[in-house]
Amino acid sequence: MKLEEGVPLARLTTLGTGGPARYFARPDSLGDLERALRFARERDLPVAVVGLGSNVLAADEGVDALVLKLGGELAAVELRGELLVAGGGATNAVCLHRARSAGLGGFEFASAIPGTIGGGVRMNAGAYGGDWSGIVERALVATADGVGWLAREELRLSYRSSAIGAGQVVARAEHRLRRKPVEEIKATIAALQAQRKGAQPTNKRTFGSVFKNPEHELGAGRMLEACGLKGYRIGGAQISPKHANFIENAGGARSADAVALMVEARRRAREQFGVELEHEVHLLGRLELTE
């Protein structure tokens, strides 16, 4: 396994921002992954995994960590009857394609979520009434101490949250799907994707929802829209004119620009609605939302 130094995270995130990772590796097998985790522990280095980098914001100065991107057998997809067994680095798109071709339903909710299985479990990603908690049976989790299976209950999946913490890597996960006519699956996917295209920026570089929806009659998007933030720009980043809970790279954005927008958005939501918005996007490196 090649260990690289100074790999720009801007290449590994959908927003296209972020400085260099101190170390970067692409483990292809469980053995590689365990070696990488031990390498980091011996040097007291934090470990960060990126899937498609579709919900991370990495510091412009870089990240003093070992950053991993899973490949090879850790990104493989296999069907065992109605069980979809996928590596943590397998993309949702490939899993969905395999499930659809085999006439297995249940994964359609992920058709509009650009990400990997590991990111899906970690975030309990979801859309249109479905999320990982509804399909995942168990996940194989690696740490510097070894690997072990965590059952669904142990994963403690709730709204955009799970028990998977720093230094824990989802190497594989098993998902329970169910037989469904292929045409029905295709129709659901088409409907969800059309709905998505109408409501959110789909042809821009973003990192998905910036904030979790608060306990309020308004979701984060509507709340920020009411604060007059649609189209608001700082540096190269702007609040999407289409959906206010998205930040777009409008050209030459830095993570610091996105953070500045998030700080301003939180300030306005607090002042106008008395709501403390909690960010959904994961921050890598030294990034703080301080005013």
Active site residues: 160, 209, 280
* Residue 41-60 contact track with ligand FAD, rule CB under 6 A, x = bound: -------xxxxxxxxx----
Interatomic CA distance for residues 152 and 165, integer angstroms: 15
In angstroms, rounded to a whole number, what is the distance separating the alpha carbons of residues 254 and 89? Answer: 26
Among 169, 189, 227, 250, binds ligand FAD (CB under 6 A): 169
Sign of CA dihedral 204, 208, 211, 212: positive
| 71: contact with ligand FAD by CB under 6 A | no
Q: Which stretch binds ligand FAD (CB under 6 A): 115-123, 149-157, 177-185, 247-255?
A: 115-123
Calpha distance 118→114 (Å, rounded):
12
115 binds ligand FAD (CB under 6 A): yes
CB-CB contact of 275 with 245 (8 Å): no
Stretch that binds ligand FAD, among 118-126, 182-190, 211-219, 237-245 (CB under 6 A): 118-126
Stretch that binds ligand FAD, among 25-33, 114-122, 225-233, 260-268 (CB under 6 A): 114-122
Per CB under 6 A, does 120 bind ligand FAD? yes
Angle at 164 between CA 14 and CA 263, to 5 degrees: 50
> Residue 270 or 289: which CB sits closer to ligand FAD?
289
Adjacent-strand bridge partners of 239: 247
Q: Which of 27, 88, 221, 285 binds ligand FAD (CB under 6 A)?
A: 88
Kind of pairing, strands 3-8 and 136-143?
unpaired
Shortest spacing between CB 128 and ligand FAD, in angstroms: 8
Q: How far, in Å, CA of 72 to CA of 87, rounded?
A: 9
Distance of alpha carbon 227 from alpha carbon 243, whole angstroms: 13
21 forms part of the interface with ligand FAD (CB under 6 A): no
The answer to whether residue 232 forms part of the interface with ligand FAD (CB under 6 A) is no
113 binds ligand FAD (CB under 6 A): yes
Where does residue 148 rank: exposed (0-12), middle (13-18), buried (19+ CB within 10 A)?
Answer: exposed
Token reading at 95: 């899993």
Residues that bind ligand FAD (CB under 6 A): 14, 48-56, 70, 88, 112-116, 118-120, 122-123, 125-127, 164, 169-170, 206-208, 282
